[in-house]
Amino acid sequence: MNSSSQAKTIVPLVMTIIFMLLIIAPASESAITCGTVISTIRPCFSYLQGVGGKPPQTCCAGCKSLASATSSAADRQAACTCLKNASQNVKINAQLAQSLPKNCGISLSFPISNTVDCTK
């Protein structure tokens, strides 16, 4: 077999193997978008800029929805980064932000803080 005929045999074989790997490879997890995160918690903004009281029902519903939508580590990291960046642009009451999960009946395994490390 000469090199030209070997190449004609190997190229289709390699292409078939690559195609099969692409088919059976697991799809990468796509993280939640920042737009989704912001629109989900938008009802909380006025509460978080206020001085207290109870968060509105729409705020708590958004928080619970966001908690459900961030089941993967990639989603949680993306949401954390988005919220951390957004908090730099919007003046919020840090104490209200820290108490929001409890006030909405949500349990988190991390503190709400501007210094939280979103990669962990």
pLDDT tens string 101-116: 999 999 877 778 888 8
86 domain residue, yes or no: yes
Asked if residue 68 is part of any domain, the answer here is yes
CATH of the domain at 76: 1.10.110.10
* Within-domain flag for 114: no
Cα torsion 71, 36, 74, 48: sign: negative
Range of the domain at 71: 34-103
**More reliable by pLDDT, 119 or 109:** 119
Residue 55 placed within a domain? yes
Q: For residue 1, is it within any domain?
A: no
Is residue 13 situated within a structural domain?
no
Q: What is the mean pLDDT of residues 76-89?
A: 87
What are the residue ranges of helices labelled H in the chain?
3-24, 34-41, 45-49, 57-69, 73-89, 94-103
Per the structure, the count of domains in the chain is: 1
The answer to whether position 80 is within a domain reads yes
What does the pLDDT look like over 44-59, one tens digit per residue? 988 998 876 899 999 9
Q: Is residue 76 part of a domain?
A: yes
